[in-house]
Structure 1
Amino acid sequence: MEPLGRIGGATVDVLEVLLGSDQPRWGLEIIKLTGRPSGSVYPLLDRLERAGWVTSSWDDDSERRGPRRRMYVLTPDGAREAVKVCAKAAGRAGRRTRSTPATRPEVAR
Structure 2
Amino acid sequence: MEPLGRIGRATVDVLAVLLDSDQPRWGLEIIKLTGRPSGSVYPLLDRLERAGWVTSSWDDDSERRGPRRRMYVLTPGGAQEATKVCAKAGGRAKAGTAPTTRPEVAR
**TM-score, structure 2 as length reference:** 0.89
- Partner of 2:104 in structure 1? none
Letter in structure 1 aligned against 2:74: L
- Partner of 2:23 in structure 1? 23
- Partner of 2:48 in structure 1? 48
CA displacement at 1:47 relative to structure 2 = 0.1
1:38 matched to 2:38: yes
Distance 1:9 1:91 in 2: 13
- Partner of 2:70 in structure 1? 70
CA displacement at 1:93 relative to structure 2 = 1.2
Q: Percent identity of the aligned residues? A: 90
CA displacement at 1:57 relative to structure 2 = 0.1
CA displacement at 1:96 relative to structure 2 = 2.4
- Partner of 1:13 in structure 2? 13
Greater than 6 Å deviation, 4+ residue runs: none
Q: Secondary structure at the match of 2:96?
A: helix
Q: Secondary structure at the match of 1:60?
A: coil
The count of residues paired between Structure 1 and Structure 2 equals: 97
**TM-score, structure 1 as length reference:** 0.87
Specify which structure has the bigger relative contact order, considering alpha-carbon pairs within 8 angstroms and separated by 6 or more residues: 2
- Partner of 1:91 in structure 2? 91
Distance 1:91 1:29 in 2: 26
CA displacement at 1:17 relative to structure 2 = 0.2
Q: Secondary structure at the match of 1:96?
A: coil
Letter in structure 2 aligned against 1:80: Q
- Partner of 1:57 in structure 2? 57
Q: Secondary structure at the match of 1:7?
A: coil
